[in-house]
Amino acid sequence: MSIAHRIRVENVTILSDDWYVLRKTTFSFQRADGSWQEQSRETYDRGNGATILLYDPHRRTVILTRQFRYPAFVNGYDDLLIETPAGLLDNAEPEIRIRAETEEETGFRVREVRQVFDAFMSPGSVTERLHFFVGEYEPADRASQGGGNKEEGEDIAILEVRIDEALAMIDSGAIRDGKTIMLLQYAALKLMPSSTSNMEIERC
C-alpha cells in the first residue's frame, strides 16, 4: 500500500555531509482523519548495507567479529562490540558486496550465500535498509587472516563459537548488537535448532 500521496515535502536542508549525510526535512503528513500536519525530521543517510552469519551446521559453530565502535563506546559500552560481518553496499548488489566484505573482515571465502530477510534497523532517524544473509562455511574456506581495512580504521578480530555459546552471550549481555542478535536467533530457529527444541516441538 503506497502512502506517497499522504506526504508533501516542503523543504530539505543538508546539515552535514562529512562521514555520511544528515538532512533536516520539513514536510506535511496527512493523518488518518484526513487533516494535514506539518512535521520536521532529521534523517541520517549512510546508504544501505548487508550482514551475514557464517555457520557450520556439522560442528554447530558460527563466525563472529570483535571491533571498536565509537558510538557504542560513547553511550557507555566499554568493550569491543561482537558482531556478524557487515558493510555498506556502496551501490553494489547485496550478495556481491557481502561476499567481498566477509573475506575482507574474516578471511573466509564463502561459497553459497542466501538472503533471509531485510530490515530497517533504526527507522526513526536512519535511512539504512540492511540485507541479512546466511552462508555455510568450513575451516578450509579461510583464504586469509581478514582483519578489515586498516585505511578505514578497522582492526577486526575473529571469533568462532558454538551456536549455544553465542546464544548464551546474548543472555549475558556479551553480545548487544541488534543485527547479530537477529541472525543468531534466526539460526537457532531455522538453521541449527537444539535437540531439546526439536523434542519440545515433537511433543506439541
CATH number, domain with residue 80: 3.90.79.10
Please state the pTM of the whole predicted model: 0.91
Gap between the Cα atoms of 70 and 81, Å rounded:
10
Residue 148 contacts residue 67 (beta carbons within 8 Å): yes
Same domain, 74 and 38: no
Q: Are residues 165 and 73 in the same domain?
A: yes
What does residue 163 show for φ and ψ, rounded to 5 degrees? -60, -40
Residues 41 and 57 in one domain: no
The confidence score (pLDDT) of residue 168 equals 98
Task: State the pLDDT confidence band at 195, using cuts at 50, 70 and 90.
Answer: low
Catalogue the E-assigned strands of 59-166: 61-67, 81-83, 86-88, 114-120, 129-136, 157-162
Count of domains for the chain: 2
Strand 49-56 versus strand 129-136 pairing type = parallel
What is residue 77's predicted lDDT score, i.e. its pLDDT?
A: 96
110 shares a domain with 69: yes
Residues 40, 110 within the same domain: no
pLDDT for position 163? 97
Q: Is the pLDDT of residue 181 over 60?
A: yes
147 is a domain residue? yes
Structural domain range at position 40: 4-45
Least confident of 16-30, 122-136, 138-152: 138-152
Question: Do 166 and 184 share a domain, yes or no?
Answer: yes
Looking at the fold, whether 148 and 100 belong to one and the same domain comes out as yes
Provide the strand spans (E) within 75-201.
81-83, 86-88, 114-120, 129-136, 157-162
36 and 101 housed in the same domain: no
Residue 63: phi, psi to the nearest 5? -105, 125
| 134 within some domain | yes
Query: How far apart, in Å, are the Cα atoms of 42 and each of 27, 126, 172?
Result: 11, 9, 34
Q: Does residue 197 carry a pLDDT above 60?
A: no
Question: Do 40 and 78 share a domain, yes or no?
Answer: no
* Domain shared by 162 and 126, yes or no: yes
Q: Tell me, yes or no, whether 75 and 142 share the same domain.
A: yes
Q: Are residues 124 and 147 in the same domain?
A: yes
